[in-house]
Structures are given as structure tokens and as C-alpha cells.
Amino acid sequence: MQRLCREAPSLLPTLLDGLVWRSTRASGGQRRANYYVEHLIVNAKGEHADALRELCMTKDPKIMTHPVVVTVSDTMWTGVVQKQFLFARIWFILSLAIFMLVQAFLPKIPWLSQVWIIRVIIFAGRILVYLNTMCRLFFFHAKGFIKAYRTGAWKRKFCCLPMPLYLKEPVAGCNFLMMLLMLCMCAQEPMFYCIGQPDAEFPTMDCPEVADTRRRYSMFGMLAMALHWTLMVDLSVFSTGLSAFVLVCGQVLSEIGRFLVALIFLLLTFGSAIAVLEHGYFEMRDIPHAATALFAITVVLYEDDYRSLLFEPALLTAVLLYVLASSILLMNLLIAQLNNSYVFIYQDMVGFARLERAKNIVETLKTFPMYKWKLFVESLKFDQPLEFNEGDVGVGGGIQVEEPGSAYVVLALEQLGSA
């Protein structure tokens, strides 16, 4: 498997097709099928095989939708990884719930935030968030940095500083940014600044010492809250359809990025041109104000009236040309690009979703307890022979399933003899 994945991936479908036996008889609209996948799940030592990891390295969405790969992936996901993955995310879900309670709900109710017991709950909740989220992420990334230093994986540069290669993964990068925001929040925590103040009843956020830090703390909290919810997208792996939709959204972001680059170019072009023009319109008196006004026109947030430009024909012409180029040309071009990209990605989006799920399976199995793995392998009963048709006992090492009779075409070969 390793050699085929790395040197001859085009032969993988042929190999995988040979691991399936399907009956020529259909009963009740269902057909019996045997998938001989023992050596794709467990190796000779009884450990989890590297087949799924090698298939992930090919990054081929089509091979991930092969029935054999789907069977292996779904068996390992439902058997061992699903619960392990969910338990690993429970702390994050609880942290988000507590974070919302002590940042977005309780402090925003004026009469409730004056109650001493509520302030104690807010203080305890924030301490719990710092310990549960900030400290866990700090130790996780400290371990990652040490491992990257020992292995020499420091080739990626960020602002002239070497960074570990594992941070190029979106989830790892967002987690690292979350840790930095939590550290900034902890350093600017208003309740910490009010400790020991004689004119303030602790715990409280109302004391003279927090006047300069309150706004910075709220900005860090806003970004941390947004990142918390962004990282929740990782839970879409539980649904293949939802995961496929998330992947499609991520793929079309590149088209939106190109649109924004073109829009910025138009804003600078027309903004600087309007700033050079002699006119008496105050809202477009210089480049920043002109660019801001033009952007407001694009997103339909401009509050002024076009009739105020009737006595400035040159300015009105420039604005109309900008509207023609941005709102009509660029917007329709963006819609066409998004439509084309979606049609192209839709063909393989289920494969991409299964590829992401397979990556999560591989990562989770690295820390999966061996005794649980052995119990899972025993539950598959690979040592028991599988029947072909009724009464026809075959070999073991596989998984027997019932498939719709019309899902696959099975040719029946009849041997004709002469008397």
C-alpha cells in the first residue's frame, strides 16, 4: 500500500477493487458484499495499519470515495475515533459556554452585575477559562515548539522569526493565536487590577485602575470570542455533508480574495483621482475620505444623496464610472467565479470531506490507548470466516455488509459444459 500510494497511485483503484466480493444474487433489494480490509485496519503486530495515513498523503479526493476506503474509514470512525474525538473537544465546548457566560451575558446586565454573588461567579468563571483554555494551549504549544526545535522543523518564517512547521495547519495556527489573545486578556484582566483596592468591594471591575485597560481588554475578548466560534467549525467532521459544505466555503474564499484585491485597486484609483479634482463636495475632500465614501457606495451604506453632486458634473461622472466598474462589473464577475468554482468543487466535495475525516482519524489514533484498540479489533471478528452466498463459507479477514442491489453492477459468469 505504501509503495503504491507513493509511486503508482493510479493502480490503487485496481488493488482496492480486488478486495471486494459481491454476490450475484439480490434478496429483498439487498446484495451481500464482503470487504476484505483486515490488513488495511490492523498490521501484523496488532497495531493500527498505516494504510489510511498513506491514502491521506495522496490527497486524492476520488480515491477517498472508493467503497473499500469508505468502509475502512467509517468502521474506524464509528468504532474508536468518534467518541475519542468528541471527548477531546468537550473541554473546548465547555470553555466556550463558560466564556460566553462570564463575558457576554452576566457582565452586560447592569442590575445583575451589581450582585456580589454574581461577581464571584464571573471571577471564578474567568479564572476557570484561563486555566482550562489558556494553560492547556500554552502547554500544548510549548510541547510543539520543543518538538519542532529537536526535529529542526523551523523553516517557516513569520515577520523574520522562525516558526514551527505545524503552525501552518489552520487549526493549529488559530489555537496559537487563541493562546496569545488569552495571555493578553489575562494581563489586562480588570478584576486583577482591582484586587486590594480599599474603595472597591472585591471581586469587581469598577475601580480607577482599570480605566486605561478596559477597552484593550474588551478588544482582546472580542477577538477571542470570534476565534472560539471559528474553531467550533472543526466539529463539522461529524457530518460528511456539513464538512463538505465547510470545505466548499473555504475553497471559494480565494475567489473573494481576488475580488477584494480588485476592489482595493479601484478604490485607490478613483479615490486618488477624485482627490486631485477641484470640487466642493466635503465628503470626498481627500484620498481617505473619497475611498471611504466610494466603499460605502459599493456596500450600499452611503447615506448622502446623489442630487448633491448635480452641480459637480466631473465628480458625478467619476462616481458613476466607479459604480459601473465595481458594483456592476466586479460583482457580476464575482458571482460568475463563485458559481464556476462551486460547480468544479462540488464534484469532489464529498471526497474532500472524507479526506478531512481520515486525517482526523489518523491524528486521533496516535494517542489512542492500545488496550482499547485491541478490544476494537476483537469486536470486528476478523478470524471468523465470511459466507459468500448462503451456506458457502469463505475466508475470514473481512467485513460483511448489505448493499442496495442496484448500487453496483455484478456480472454472473455461467460455465457451460457439453454432455
Claim to verify: residue 140 and residue 249 sit in the same structural domain? no
Claim to verify: residue 254 and residue 197 sit in the same structural domain? no
Task: Read off the CATH number of the domain in which 275 is found.
Answer: 1.10.287
Task: Classify residue 358 by its DSSP letter.
Answer: H
Instruction: Answer yes or no: is 206 within a domain.
Output: yes
Instruction: Answer yes or no: is 87 within a domain.
Output: no
| CA gap 96, 178 in Å, rounded | 12
Tell the residue number behind the cell numbers 464571573, with chain if given. 122
Claim to verify: residue 193 and residue 122 sit in the same structural domain? yes
Helix (H/G/I), strand (E/B), else coil: 209: helix
Residue pair 194/200 in contact (Cβ under 8 Å)? The answer is yes
Claim to verify: residue 219 and residue 250 sit in the same structural domain? no
Helix (H/G/I), strand (E/B), else coil: 104: helix
Tell the residue number behind the cell numbers 478588544, with chain if given. 219
Claim to verify: residue 295 and residue 381 sit in the same structural domain? no
| CA gap 133, 176 in Å, rounded | 11
| CA gap 73, 357 in Å, rounded | 8
Among 193, 294, 240, 207, smallest CA distance to 65 is for 240
Instruction: Answer yes or no: is 95 within a domain.
Output: no
**Cβ neighbours of residue 128 closer than 8 Å, sequence gap 6 or more:** 98
- Stated pTM of the model: 0.72
Question: Which three cell numbers mark 56?
Answer: 491521506
State the pLDDT at residue 219.
Answer: 92
**Cβ neighbours of residue 11 closer than 8 Å, sequence gap 6 or more:** 4
Instruction: Answer yes or no: is 127 within a domain.
Output: yes
Instruction: Answer yes or no: is 419 within a domain.
Output: no
Instruction: Answer yes or no: is 140 within a domain.
Output: yes
Domain count for the chain, please give it. 3
Claim to verify: residue 265 and residue 230 sit in the same structural domain? no
Region of 15 on the Ramachandran plot (φ > 0 left; ψ -120 to 50 alpha; else beta): alpha
Instruction: Choose the final residue of a domain: 205, 237, 269.
Output: 237
State the pLDDT at residue 411.
Answer: 52
Per-position pLDDT tens, the chain of length 419:
778 888 888 888 888 888 888 877 777 778 888 888 888 888 888 888 888 888 888 888 888 888 888 888 888 888 888 887 788 788 888 888 999 998 888 888 877 767 888 888 888 999 998 988 888 889 988 888 888 888 877 765 666 677 787 788 888 888 899 999 999 998 888 888 888 777 667 777 777 777 788 888 889 999 999 999 988 888 877 777 777 777 777 777 888 888 889 999 999 999 999 888 888 778 888 888 888 988 888 887 777 766 777 778 888 888 889 888 888 888 888 888 878 777 777 767 778 888 888 888 888 888 888 888 888 888 888 888 888 877 777 788 888 888 786 666 665 544 444 43
State the pLDDT at residue 408.
Answer: 66
State the pLDDT at residue 412.
Answer: 53
Residue pair 273/284 in contact (Cβ under 8 Å)? The answer is no
| CA gap 27, 25 in Å, rounded | 7
Instruction: Answer yes or no: is 360 within a domain.
Output: no
Q: Which domain holds residue 260?
A: 241-349
Among 20, 19, 32, smallest CA distance to 388 is for 32
Claim to verify: residue 231 and residue 258 sit in the same structural domain? no
Claim to verify: residue 149 and residue 223 sit in the same structural domain? yes
Claim to verify: residue 143 and residue 218 sit in the same structural domain? yes
Instruction: Answer yes or no: is 355 within a domain.
Output: no
Claim to verify: residue 223 and residue 309 sit in the same structural domain? no
